[in-house]
Amino acid sequence: MAEVTVTPQSSLADRPLQIRVRGLSPSQLVTLRAWLKDEQGERFQSRAFFRADGAGEVDPGLHAALGGSYSGVWPMGLLWFLQPDTLFRRLVKRDVAGSPFRVRLEVFQGLSLATDPQEQPLASCEAERWYVGPGVQRVPIREGRVRGALFLPP
């Protein structure tokens, strides 16, 4: 039974994640897909193709992606290479203190190129990416023509 895990499951957006897939057959070819919806409901996604090692595991920090949105060893590649489904959209977080981006990670059998895979994933999990730490206070700044925000630690 395949299992995908992300550690830590909830973290600040600038912190590294460790993504791991276990329970695969040795040398099994899989597609690891990450996707999220922004505050306007626009979907951003990336995918990478991997061949499981002899223990039936995939770790993007150790194993090279064979293709997809990127190739090579990129521990955070699935997050760095997120692309919008609609051209010319940018991934922007406006409500930085109120809610995280929820990134869904899914593993599919073989090479999955479809934007919306019709098959069920072998395994999936979710990670929260926060832009402001707990207890941080956001103070809006409006002084003359200056606009901004001051973030104060707890």
Q: Hey, where are the domains in the chain?
A: 3-152
The string of pLDDT tens digits covering residues 130-150 is 999 999 999 999 999 999 999
Rounded CA gap, 11 and 14, in Å? Answer: 8
Residue 96 pLDDT more than 90?
no
Residue 105 pLDDT more than 90?
yes
pTM: 0.88
Mean pLDDT value of segment 97-117: 91
Chain mean position to CA 114: 18
In this prediction, residue 117 carries a pLDDT of: 79
The residues, ordered by sequence, that sit 6+ positions from 103 with a Cβ below 8 Å of its Cβ are 6, 34, 35, 36, 79, 126, 127, 128, 129
Mean pLDDT for all residues in the chain: 95
Span 3-152: which CATH code? 2.60.40.2240
According to DSSP, the β-strands at 29-37 and 146-152 are unpaired
The string of pLDDT tens digits covering residues 33-77 is 999 999 999 999 999 999 999 999 999 999 999 999 999 999 999
In this prediction, residue 58 carries a pLDDT of: 98
In this prediction, residue 2 carries a pLDDT of: 96
